[in-house]
Amino acid sequence: MKEYDFVVIGSGIAGLAFALKAARHGSVAVITKRKGADTNTAWAQGGIACVTSDEDSFELHVRDTLEAGAGLCDEAVVRAVVTEGPERISELAEIGLQFDKREVSGHRELDLGKEGGHSKRRVLHVRDATGKEIEETLLRELGRQSNVKLLENHMAVDLITAAKLGFATEDRCLGVYVLDEKTGEVETIRSDRTALATGGCGKVYLYTTNPDIATGDGVAMAWRAGVEIANMEFIQFHPTCLFHAEAKSFLISEAVRGEGGILRNHRGKNFIKRYDARGSLAPRDIVARAIDAEIKRSGAKCVFLDITHKPPEFIRKRFPHIYQTCLRFGIDMLKQAIPVVPAAHYQCGGIKTDMNGATSLLGLYAVGEVACIGMHGANRLASNSLLEGLVMAHRAAAAAVHRRPGGIQKVALPEWQSGNVQDVDELVVIYHNWDEIRRLMWDYVGIVRTDKRLQRASARLRNLQREIREFYWNFKVSVDLLELRNLAAVAALIVDSALCRKESRGLHYTLDYSQTDDRQFKHDTVLSRW
């Protein structure tokens, strides 16, 4: 059994920022499923929303966030994240991150981008690859810490809790079982402070802007450990994912619309104005629904994002990554509109935490996309998530350092029991179930919902979960099997949460209850196993 003062599961912005702060106070293990940089963060294009300009104010950023959140944000949390943002951003700069600047009247100032729902330009960015730069900067800094162990190709299987071990004390997290993908062995790692920073669950849907690692592992593990989960019905669909048979999950940043890109239908018409006066830069939920309706109405396969009216040198400099990637697929965005469709992008709900990232299980913290702290409410404002991850990692690490759970006996944790299980004999079952979940979630639990579709999804998911459970107990665990088990659990949580909300609000839109009902539903949807 290995032991660390802190265990962090996930290596995106929130996990790495937490690890760096915790490392000042003890030993840290960072567990990550693939390579350190295989994270949602590394794919983030737009940037970090933060008030840095004299023309902007904390008040405006708070107001925009609350407005996007459609009545469900926790204002105290929003204020804390917005006002603490600049200090955390300057820490990133101290370890070498350089945001883009531009020349204004003879001096250089931050080049601020604009995205949907923001009343001011406030998005700091590094060209159109902000997340990648942040990820590399944080990993570099992590590599300088002698007391941090980065365990790549390791996947957390389940949290070890006092309740699961049968202790009659207050329940708490004691560590985690971790699969070493290279050896196929499950190791026991002990820690009385564990932070989940596993990101979101985009892979639960057929079409997503997320990388393959986004399989909802943190939420699923927390749920199995009896931790409260909130607001899982609020899945954000990004309006503009590249539509191309060979392109997998490639995002066309909202910053393209922020710089003047216009959404057109297959007839070349700027159609969003028919749905919302703000046009292509209306909030994401509205734009994604408008595209969905337009595609369904016209029978076209996609819509188009047109920025050809901008000077070619501007496009190449501001969007080098998008420009090059589109070119690879034979699309020259200097001359032609980019074909796009909406795709699952961000999980606004997650593991319920307090303002310091503490979950309902003692010793367990959750930070970043995996957590639901009340920042995003029913709809996240673009580019607020990297900011939230950074600020909350700081707050949670401070809380974990100062609130070491006391009073537990140093009992040895039981080793993982694999019993007589064998290697999975038919991988086809795993892949089939995986595809089935993703397709049924897309068809029945997508941008527009109905009770009937949700109930249908619920019934199928229960059957799939039964089958997966059998597999899990009878065969050796593998990353594929663990991911499938987690995907199924998270899909069921999304459906159950959506069935609870008999109204439309933010990202949850249902034809059966198309109005917002503040009287009955202006509250979080909190699910608990116990």
Q: Which residues are catalytic?
A: 284
**CA-based nearest residue to 364, from 145, 198, 152:** 198
Is there a contact between 283 and 64 (Cβ–Cβ < 8 Å)?
no
Please report how close the Cβ of residue 310 comes to ligand SIN at its closest, in angstroms. Answer: 17
* 5 is a site residue for ligand SIN (CB under 6 A): no
* Residue from 265, 325, 385, 465 binding ligand SIN (CB under 6 A): 385
Among 27, 32, 41, 45, indicate the residue that binds ligand SIN (CB under 6 A). 45
Cα separation, 477 vs 272, in Å, equals: 47
φ, ψ at 31 (rounded to 5°): -100, 130
Does the footprint of ligand SIN cover residue 362 (CB under 6 A)?
no
Q: Are strands 229-230 and 350-352 parallel, antiparallel or unpaired?
A: antiparallel
Query: What x-and-dash track marks residues 259-288 binding ligand SIN by CB under 6 A?
Result: ------------------------------
For position 255 contacting ligand SIN by CB under 6 A, the verdict is yes
Q: Which is nearer to ligand SIN, 305 or 484 (CB)?
A: 305
Q: Look up residue 149 and give its amino acid.
A: K
Residue 321: both structure tokens together = 């990554």
DSSP letters of 351-363? EE--TTSB-SSBT
Of 240 and 510, which has the nearer Cβ to ligand SIN? 240
Q: Closest approach of Cβ 217 to ligand SIN, in Å? A: 20
Q: Which residue's CB atom is positioned nearest to ligand SIN?
A: 46
* CB 337 within 8 Å of CB 326: no
DSSP string, 422-437: B--S-HHHHHHHHHHH
Stretch of 14-22, 31-39, 166-174, 249-257 lying at the interface with ligand SIN (CB under 6 A) = 249-257
Strand ranges, E, within 132-261? 148-151, 154-161, 173-180, 186-190, 194-196, 229-230, 235-242
CB closer to ligand SIN, 385 vs 497: 385
The reply on whether position 382 binds ligand SIN by CB under 6 A is: yes
Closest-CA residue to 96 (of 48, 164, 38, 142): 142
The smaller minimum CB distance to ligand SIN, of residues 175 and 342, is found at 342
Least distance to ligand SIN, CB of residue 234, Å = 14
Residue placing its CB nearer to ligand SIN in the complex, 81 or 488: 81
Strands 123-124 and 48-49: antiparallel
Q: Looking at 169-177, 273-281, 382-390, 426-434, which segment touches ligand SIN (CB under 6 A)?
A: 382-390
Tokens for 255, please give them: 């910053």
H/E stretch holding 56 = none
Position 100 contacts ligand SIN (CB under 6 A): no
- Give SS3 for 510: strand
Q: Which residues are near ligand SIN by CB under 6 A?
A: 45-46, 253-255, 346, 382-383, 385
